[in-house]
Structure 1
Amino acid sequence: LLETKKLIVESAFLETSTTPLYKKIIDIKHKATKLGIKQINIFPLFLLPGVHVKEDIPQQLQLAQEHLGEEIKLNVLPYLGNQTSLVHHILQAQFTNLPGEGKILLSHGSRRQEAKQATEKIAEKLGALVAYWSKPSSLQDKIQYFINQGLKQIAIVPYFLFPGKIIDTISQEIDHWQKQLSPVELNFGTPLGETPTLASLIVAELLSL
């Protein structure tokens, strides 16, 4: 929590929290009112325009606004992944540092077509193939594709923001495949949120409001 006379910065979660997002916003409203703040800015820390960005967050904000009335305005900022040039820079740096003749950008996957299109556009600029963890066009399929092409080193960069259970599971699966695929080398990168550059962007975005 960061507070000044006119600024409150807090975190809220869409999932894995006992407090729904809309209730968290209502709680923040009480602090904001005391400081004379009339607008709450929401910065979605998501990489793609998927279900959370396009459906879940708007639903939660609608519930919050119904409780808040006209006392405070809710303003949703562009989601983090909309900063395409910086995201591309971070991903490119990872691919540059990971040994790999073949490059795979691994995304979670979404049922929303625009999220898929955004991922494919990023991968195309990086010269990488797209694989999805929860949708068809799997990571294992793309690894096998490169093996069939005779490649011996494959770089895999996760298009995820933070580490967690999914990244742990992916890492374990890659370790398992690595044992079976020797001498092919699978090199796994890190989520974007672990880079100082992205952390600096988040801070700068909040302080610029």
Structure 2
Amino acid sequence: MSASTLSPTAYLLVFHGSRDPRPAQAAEYLAQFVRLQLESKPVGLTVAKSARPKGYVSPSSYFERLPMPLTSSSPIKANDPGDWPYSAYLPLVGTACLEAGALSLHEQIIEFGHRVSAAGVRSIRIVPLFLLKGIHVSEDIPAEVQLAQRALPTLTLRLCAHLGSHVGLEGLVRTKLQSTTADDWLLLAHGSRRIESNGAIQSLAESLGGTTAYWAVSPSLETQVIQLIQQGVQRLAILPYFLFTGPTTDAVTRRTEDLAERFPSISFHLLPPLGPSPELAHLVVDLALGWTPLRQNQGAISMKRVAFRHQIQRSSMGVLKR
């Protein structure tokens, strides 16, 4: 088989970004899990039409392998051309941030594109690691990808559905909740000024018998906690619906401690955020390959066409601590 018959693909995971180094480190761990799962998948396997879910996108027909994930600054070593295409250094999996990076997102995509092109890549699938379909997913990231596409005319940039659209997140949240014996629980999401985005979070919480609170919009964590206490809840679990530990989850911990001090008779169980894991990587791989039905009617888009505390317990002073 000649190289001209193949269309090798690289994968770029886009997260929000922070001046705190922890989210970037967690994104790299997730990229490693994604690479390992892509490496084990025979993506050239033909999928019967009857087995293809709605929104299915046929992946390229090749096997992929790569020793390490890539950041925008990761080097790509030249291979012996005689090994092509069987040692195509794939899957090439990188990470990029939307905000707080040294380069803008489109500049990171361009740099990543130049590097993976050296390995024979002809297309890049970009997966937004965002749980809400807010402004970042609907406008900011598509605009950055379009800018990058203009600078990479020999590559096809394909923007995949955002992580929050995957129906499998419900199972991931359910697994997180199995570690608590609380009477009730709150799903604490960042929240968006777009009502339809918050509606998806509310539906997720209600499907698992929980209540929704938001960090950036109403109803707030404090409001929902007080309401549940008035309903007689004595043991309350709080699940931060965030991808990675960072400044916001630190603030959630402090807010929960404040609430615990105000309501010493209530037992609070603060769960960890989703975090990088093989289970989360499985959802990312599904989106990257187009192998899953989506929570929303959104599929891949070709841009050429367009140490956080897990358990808080009451101390003698009435403040819940680890």
Output the TM-score relative to the length of structure 2: 0.60
Whole-angstrom CA distance in 2 between matches of 1:17 and 1:31: 18
Query: In the alignment, does 2:188 pair up with 1:71?
Result: no
SS in 2 for 1:52: helix
Question: Runs ≥4 in structure 1, deviation > 6 angstroms?
Answer: none
Query: In the alignment, does 2:166 pair up with 1:80?
Result: no
| More helix, by proportion | 1
Deviations 1:72-112 (A, max 9, x none): 1110111112222x211121122232231121110101112
Deviations 1:135-191 (A, max 9, x none): 010111111011111111111111111110000001011012112201111111111
State the 1:134 CA deviation.
0.7
More relative contact order, 1 or 2 (CA 8 Å, 6+ apart) = 2
Q: Is the 8 A contact 2:124 2:158 kept in 1?
A: yes
SS in 2 for 1:191: coil
Q: Is the 8 A contact 2:161 2:287 kept in 1?
A: no
List runs of 5+ in structure 2 lacking aligned partners. 1-68, 71-75, 77-86, 292-322
Query: In the alignment, does 2:102 pair up with 1:18?
Result: yes
Whole-angstrom CA distance in 2 between matches of 1:12 and 1:117: 28
Q: 2:246 aligns with which of 150, 161, 164?
A: 164
Q: Is the 8 A contact 2:131 2:162 kept in 1?
A: yes
Structure number with larger C-alpha Rg: 2
Deviation larger for 139-148 or 108-117: 108-117
State the 1:132 CA deviation.
0.5
Q: 2:258 aligns with which of 176, 182, 195?
A: 176
Matched residue pairs, number?
A: 207
Q: Is the 8 A contact 2:88 2:120 kept in 1?
A: no
Hey, what does 2:300 align to over in structure 1?
none
State the superposition RMSD in angstroms.
2.1
The letter of the residue matching 1:5 is A
Whole-angstrom CA distance in 2 between matches of 1:197 and 1:204: 11
State the 1:194 CA deviation.
4.3
Identity of aligned residues (%): 35
SS in 2 for 1:157: strand
Q: Is the 8 A contact 1:6 1:37 kept in 2?
A: no
SS in 2 for 1:176: helix
State the 1:13 CA deviation.
0.6
